[in-house]
Amino acid sequence: MPHIVVEYAGLDLPEGLIEALTEAMAAHPEVPETAVKLRAYRADSFRLLSGETAFVNVTLRLMDTRPEVQHMELADAALAVLETHLPGSCALGVETASIPRSSFRKRGGLSEA
């Protein structure tokens, strides 16, 4: 973990954003590099009453055993990447979501994290 889920609309994701997000998560001392996974989805329809013409929202899915400080550190790192790569006309958001370890199952991957 983390599993990074990127939702976006109103723009194409800039070159290097995906790599920068995964590298930022892997740079955290408590995150095994092989545990980082990312997927991105473009929204076909969206509406922002705030006036921005695009949005990118990142959800960091983390095991519920991670302390709150790690949630905050990883969210801050993700937001810093978004702010570096995306224009001011784009609404940005980052949130974390806890995955209960007791119900998490997986197949494949090189890490047990």
- Position 109 scores a pLDDT of 57
- Position 113 scores a pLDDT of 45
- Position 105 scores a pLDDT of 73
Instruction: State the CATH class of domain 3-46+60-103.
Output: alpha beta
- Position 18 scores a pLDDT of 97
- Position 49 scores a pLDDT of 93
Q: What is the 3-state secondary structure (H, E, C) of 33-82?
A: HHHCEEEEEECCCCCCCCCCCEEEEEEEEEECCCCHHHHHHHHHHHHHHH
Q: Of 78, 42, 43, which Cα lies nearest the Cα of 60?
A: 78
- Position 94 scores a pLDDT of 98
pLDDT per residue rounded down to tens, the chain (113 residues): 689 999 999 999 999 999 999 999 999 999 988 889 999 999 999 999 999 999 999 999 998 889 899 999 999 999 999 999 999 999 999 999 998 888 877 776 544 44
